[in-house]
Protein backbone atom coordinates (compact mmCIF):
# COMPACT_ATOMS: atom_id res chain seq x y z
CA UNK A 1 0.00 0.00 0.00
CA UNK A 2 1.32 3.47 -0.84
CA UNK A 3 1.77 6.19 1.77
CA UNK A 4 -0.96 8.20 0.05
CA UNK A 5 -3.34 5.24 0.43
CA UNK A 6 -2.72 5.25 4.19
CA UNK A 7 -3.68 8.93 4.31
CA UNK A 8 -6.71 8.57 2.03
CA UNK A 9 -8.07 5.25 3.33
CA UNK A 10 -6.77 4.54 6.83
CA UNK A 11 -6.92 8.10 8.16
CA UNK A 12 -9.25 10.48 6.26
CA UNK A 13 -11.28 7.60 4.82
CA UNK A 14 -12.50 6.62 8.28
CA UNK A 15 -14.47 9.86 8.59
CA UNK A 16 -12.78 10.44 11.95
CA UNK A 17 -9.83 12.46 10.63
CA UNK A 18 -10.48 15.65 8.64
CA UNK A 19 -7.09 15.93 6.90
CA UNK A 20 -3.84 14.06 7.43
CA UNK A 21 -0.20 13.80 6.51
CA UNK A 22 2.55 11.22 6.87
CA UNK A 23 6.05 12.68 7.03
CA UNK A 24 9.60 11.60 7.67
CA UNK A 25 11.51 12.64 10.78
CA UNK A 26 13.68 14.80 8.51
CA UNK A 27 10.80 17.08 7.53
CA UNK A 28 10.00 15.46 4.19
CA UNK A 29 6.34 14.91 3.35
CA UNK A 30 5.57 11.34 2.22
CA UNK A 31 1.82 11.77 1.69
CA UNK A 32 -0.77 14.40 2.53
CA UNK A 33 -4.37 15.48 2.03
CA UNK A 34 -4.97 18.06 -0.71
CA UNK A 35 -4.43 21.59 0.62
CA UNK A 36 -2.83 20.37 3.85
CA UNK A 37 0.69 21.78 3.72
CA UNK A 38 2.84 21.00 6.74
CA UNK A 39 6.21 22.72 6.37
CA UNK A 40 9.56 21.02 6.91
CA UNK A 41 10.23 23.48 9.76
CA UNK A 42 6.93 22.56 11.47
CA UNK A 43 7.77 18.86 11.16
CA UNK A 44 11.30 19.30 12.52
CA UNK A 45 10.01 21.26 15.54
CA UNK A 46 7.36 18.60 16.10
CA UNK A 47 9.94 15.79 15.95
CA UNK A 48 12.15 17.70 18.42
CA UNK A 49 9.08 17.98 20.69
CA UNK A 50 8.87 14.21 21.03
CA UNK A 51 12.28 14.35 22.78
CA UNK A 52 11.75 17.62 24.67
CA UNK A 53 8.15 18.87 24.66
CA UNK A 54 8.80 21.93 26.84
CA UNK A 55 9.15 24.41 23.90
CA UNK A 56 5.88 23.16 22.40
CA UNK A 57 4.12 23.33 25.75
CA UNK A 58 5.37 26.89 26.26
CA UNK A 59 4.72 28.30 22.78
CA UNK A 60 2.29 25.86 21.19
CA UNK A 61 2.85 23.84 18.05
CA UNK A 62 2.27 24.94 14.48
CA UNK A 63 0.73 22.64 11.90
CA UNK A 64 -0.23 23.91 8.43
CA UNK A 65 0.49 27.44 9.67
CA UNK A 66 -2.03 27.16 12.52
CA UNK A 67 -1.09 27.34 16.20
CA UNK A 68 -2.34 24.59 18.54
CA UNK A 69 -2.29 24.49 22.33
CA UNK A 70 -0.44 21.34 23.39
CA UNK A 71 -2.60 19.12 25.61
CA UNK A 72 -0.46 15.98 25.77
CA UNK A 73 3.16 15.42 24.83
CA UNK A 74 5.41 12.41 25.33
CA UNK A 75 7.99 10.49 23.29
CA UNK A 76 5.28 8.88 21.12
CA UNK A 77 2.30 11.24 20.85
CA UNK A 78 1.61 14.97 20.89
CA UNK A 79 -1.99 16.20 20.93
CA UNK A 80 -3.05 19.78 20.35
CA UNK A 81 -6.25 21.81 20.39
CA UNK A 82 -7.43 24.91 18.58
CA UNK A 83 -10.99 26.06 19.13
CA UNK A 84 -13.35 23.12 18.71
CA UNK A 85 -10.86 21.14 16.59
CA UNK A 86 -7.43 19.76 17.14
CA UNK A 87 -4.49 17.67 16.00
CA UNK A 88 -3.13 14.24 16.87
CA UNK A 89 0.50 13.47 16.01
CA UNK A 90 2.23 10.14 16.54
CA UNK A 91 5.87 9.24 15.92
CA UNK A 92 6.90 5.82 14.65
CA UNK A 93 10.41 4.55 13.98
CA UNK A 94 10.78 6.59 10.80
CA UNK A 95 7.54 8.47 10.26
CA UNK A 96 5.28 11.04 11.88
CA UNK A 97 1.52 10.72 11.43
CA UNK A 98 -0.48 13.94 11.66
CA UNK A 99 -4.27 13.92 11.80
CA UNK A 100 -6.57 16.91 12.24
CA UNK A 101 -10.16 16.79 13.45
CA UNK A 102 -12.95 19.36 13.40
CA UNK A 103 -15.87 20.10 15.74
CA UNK A 104 -17.91 17.19 14.33
CA UNK A 105 -15.34 14.61 15.44
CA UNK A 106 -14.58 13.64 19.03
CA UNK A 107 -10.87 14.03 19.88
CA UNK A 108 -10.68 10.46 21.18
CA UNK A 109 -12.04 9.06 17.92
CA UNK A 110 -9.37 10.81 15.88
CA UNK A 111 -6.66 9.80 18.36
CA UNK A 112 -7.76 6.16 18.20
CA UNK A 113 -7.52 6.08 14.38
CA UNK A 114 -4.09 7.76 14.22
CA UNK A 115 -2.65 5.72 17.12
CA UNK A 116 -3.86 2.42 15.59
CA UNK A 117 -2.26 3.17 12.23
CA UNK A 118 0.96 4.12 14.06
CA UNK A 119 0.86 0.77 15.90
CA UNK A 120 0.48 -1.04 12.58
CA UNK A 121 3.36 0.88 10.99
CA UNK A 122 5.60 0.21 14.01
CA UNK A 123 4.79 -3.51 13.81
CA UNK A 124 5.65 -3.36 10.09
CA UNK A 125 9.05 -1.81 10.77
CA UNK A 126 8.24 1.84 10.06
pLDDT per position as a tens digit, 97-111: 999 999 999 999 999
Residues 6 or more apart from 94 whose CB is under 8 A from it?
24, 25, 126
For residues 71 and 29, give the distance between their C-alpha atoms in angstroms, rounded to a whole number: 24
Q: What is the number of alpha carbons within 13 Å of residue 74 lying toward its C-beta? A: 3
Q: Say what the pTM is.
A: 0.97
What value, to the nearest 5°, has the Cα angle with vertex 86 and ends 57 and 116?
95
Q: Residue 1 above 90 pLDDT? A: no
Is residue 45 within 8 A of residue 62, CB to CB? The reply is yes
What is the Cα–Cα distance from 49 to 17, expressed in whole angstroms? 22
pLDDT interval class at 50 (50, 70, 90)? very high
Arithmetic mean of pLDDT, 39-52: 97
For the segment 38-44, the average pLDDT, to the nearest whole number, is 96
Distance (Å, rounded) from C-alpha 40 to C-alpha 72? Answer: 22
Amino acid sequence: MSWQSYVDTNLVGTGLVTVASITGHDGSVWATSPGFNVSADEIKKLVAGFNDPSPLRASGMFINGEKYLVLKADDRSIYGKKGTGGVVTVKTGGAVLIGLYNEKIQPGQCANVVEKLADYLIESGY
